[in-house]
Structure 1
Amino acid sequence: MTHSIRIKNQEFILHPHGGMFWAEKSMLLISDVHLGKVAHFRKFGAAVPQKAIHKNFILLDEIVNDFQPFQICFLGDLFHSSLNKEWQLFENWVQKTPAEILLVAGNHDIIAPEKFEALAIPIFQELIIEDFLLTHHPEERKNLFNFCGHIHPAIRLQGSGRQRLKLPCFFKKQHQLILPAFGEFTGTYTLEPTKKDEVYAIVENEVIKI
């Protein structure tokens, strides 16, 4: 189940897969997919299931089918490292996806720009769309609301007794929203919210405001 929020009179729909749909622009925002990471770890002997390679593409297909966006903007760390066999899977996915695809470069995006150009994917260091600043690393810019990734935010909840639960989340500050990592094999970083922050945790197949 999704969760809708409004920022600067615009509607944004938070999806349990970790992406966010900007309704007025028909733009799907996704951060930190880290394609190629599974193949990278398997190459060096890590016991990661082969099927994990395909899981990211399954999730991408599902969220695109849910929103049918005109544009998909990846907020950095789309591909984890240098080229490996997952790049061909990504090429195939791009070719069958009708939306225009944009990439805001992240620190892991080291693949030659020519490879993205061949797929008609423009690369930006940042994007400013009306009153919104789209980056990979969290940024602060006067009069702009920042959408970003990089942190892989999570929230830790404590129940009765010693029960503890760590959940990926959308982490909203006064002038910024940090998207969770979309990738299945990425890890998370626990953030401590203040009273002014808003946290939207992903619990199974639902986004819940904490």
Structure 2
Amino acid sequence: MTGEIFFYRSQHWQLLPERAIYWQEEQALIVSDLHLGKATHFRKSGIAVPAGIVAEDLFRLQRLITRYQPTQIIITGDMFHSHENKEVDYFEVWRRQFPNIRFHLVVGNHDIMPEEIYSRLNIHISPTLTLRNIHFIHEPCGHDNGYTYTFSGHLHPGYVMAGMARQRLRLPCFYFSRHCCILPAFGEFTGLASMNAEVDEPVFVIAGDSVVRAQ
């Protein structure tokens, strides 16, 4: 599962079916909306959800780290879903495998834990991040903000594909709008919001083990 290499804004973005991007020039994995701890949060509210979701998501991220050997991981928000819980402790143990990789979290609306917890987890946090004039935020911008381009998450984007027999299937996607790329949610325990892309805006859908350009 090597994904689709998309040369855009003078950079090479490898779009991966695991719902991540490998940025070749920066040796960086980019992911968004892991929502670690969401399952525990729901279970505490009496909602039955499958066990082991965090372990599966982190194992998927671990495989990407092994394959691409990144020097940094950029998370465009909502890494954790809510307050500290046992899944944060699970991540802390998992994180020790990669002491030389810099984890940078662009804080999302769900990242509400005290700063000292992120420090303990060896995660650098900030409201925004800019590398090579590429800007990272959590919530998408709808206009030119003065940067070359912006990457974000938050919306959990999906794209509706129509089949020959009037089937309609909504799939997670990478959506490159005029001013902002919106990443799919990396976490499996998330929904999808349909994107209404303009005809000249690239969209890549994730279909199983493949990334396919939809327009």
The normalised TM-score by structure 1 is: 0.96
Given the superposition, is the C-alpha separation of residues 117 and 51 from structure 1 closer, same or farther in structure 2, using an over 3 Å criterion?
Answer: closer
Aligned to 1:114: 116
- Is contact 1:105-1:124 (8 Å) kept? yes
- Is contact 2:135-2:147 (8 Å) kept? no
Pick from 133, 144, 149: which aligns with 2:148? Answer: 144
What value does the CA root-mean-square deviation take over the aligned residues?
1.2
Structure 2 stretches lacking a partner, 5+ long: none
CA distance in 2, matches of 1:49, 1:120: 28
Aligned to 1:132: 134
- Cα deviation digits, residues 20-51 of structure 1 (max 9, x gap): 11101101111000000011112222221212
Secondary structure of the equivalent of 2:123? Answer: coil
- What is the Cα deviation at residue 161 of structure 1? 2.9
CA distance in 2, matches of 1:77, 1:52: 16
CA distance in 2, matches of 1:27, 1:159: 35
CA distance in 1, matches of 2:201, 2:158: 13
Task: Give the residue type in structure 2 aligned to 1:186.
Answer: T
CA distance in 1, matches of 2:179, 2:45: 41
CA distance in 1, matches of 2:149, 2:203: 17
CA distance in 1, matches of 2:178, 2:166: 32
- Cα deviation digits, residues 112-156 of structure 1 (max 9, x gap): 111111233211100111221111111241242001101100001
> Where does 1:1-210 land on structure 2 (aligned, <5 Å)?
1=1, 2-97=3-98, 98-139=100-141, 140-210=144-214
Larger displacement relative to structure 2 (38-47 or 123-132): 38-47
Task: Give the residue type in structure 2 aligned to 1:81.
Answer: S
Larger displacement relative to structure 2 (53-62 or 67-76): 53-62
- Is contact 1:39-1:53 (8 Å) kept? no
- Is contact 1:26-1:69 (8 Å) kept? yes
Show structure 1 runs of 4+ deviating over 6 A. Answer: none
